[in-house]
Homo-oligomer: A and B are copies of this chain.
Amino acid sequence: MIRRLSLVGLGLLGGSVAKAARAQGLADEIVAVGRDRARLEPALREGVVDRISTSLEDGVAGADFCLLATPVATLTALLPAVWQALPADALLTDVGSTKAGIVEAAEALARRGRPLAFVGSHPMAGSEQSGYGVSRPDLFQGATVILTPTERTDSHAVKRVGAFWEALGARLVTLDPVTHDRATAAVSHLPHLVADALVDAVGRMDPRFFEIAGRGFKDTTRIAASDPQMWREIFQENRAGLAEALGAFRAALDELERLIDAGDAAAIEAALDRIRRTRETAV
């Protein structure tokens, strides 16, 4: 049981955590922290949170569980102030889409003085929509949450943060931060960039071609309608992972084109069939 849950950032993810935690009765008190008071007020009016604050220090003071749910570029910037303001026995986690940077920043802070329990989390429950308005209490039901402890992370803290996400309905996966960033580059950041390039390519060829786009194009490019700032930050934060994934993608695309150009029907079908079976069994 959490006494005071402080949420820094109340968008889709922070808002959904607040609604789910409230619905499950996971915390006696829920405090939401954000820069813009007007954006926090709906949650207060709806009883989703008990208190709102535009002061980071005030909002996280006295919390025994603190979740950072701001855009990924802001996370690392906010971390030192949150680190200082939290009680020594508090648990701190986040929802960032990239993990090597934030985990490294947290471990640097711990080395320099205050040993606080930080566990990196990444709920794979984003959407092309954003903001508190689209948050919902069941967002994490059946979603995957990746925990990224290192050998320096307190195992009791990992268990408690994991139990928190499980209470919200999530399925846990544990990866080290660098593997997390490689894996999310592969299955999330690369597909986003590719969807963007697909939309852009059609626009470059002839915008009238969009008129005949069917369900395949719509599904494949749905994520190209995502928030530009959020994805700019993710692409920049995870340049190393994205570069590796782009390399693997270009190699795969070149190989398929080479097969088609070579014209060996059996070889093309064997490759497409292997990919189809991978898609059907692995995803």
Contacts and interface: CB of A to CB of B under 8 A. Distances in A.
Nearest to A221: B279
Contacts of A246: 253, 257
Contacts of A198: 190-191, 194, 249, 252
A204 B269 contact: no
Output the residue of A195, A225, A239, A252 with the most chain B CB within 10 A. A252
Nearest to A192: B216
A39 interface: no
A223 B221 CA distance: 12
A188 B217 contact: yes
Output the residue of A211, A227, A251 with the most chain B CB within 10 A. A211
B214 A144 contact: yes
A220 interface: yes
Interface in A175-199: 175, 182-184, 186-188, 190-199
A202 interface: yes
Given A236-B265, A269-B228, A269-B229, A256 B200 contact: yes
B268 A232 contact: yes
A276 B224 contact: yes
Nearest to A267: B232
A220 B220 contact: yes
A197 B268 contact: no
A260 to B, nearest CB: 5
A25 interface: no
Interface of A: 124-126, 143-144, 146, 173, 175, 182-184, 186-188, 190-214, 216-229, 231-232, 235-236, 239, 242, 244-246, 248-249, 251-253, 255-257, 260-261, 263, 265, 268-273, 275-276, 278-280, 282-283
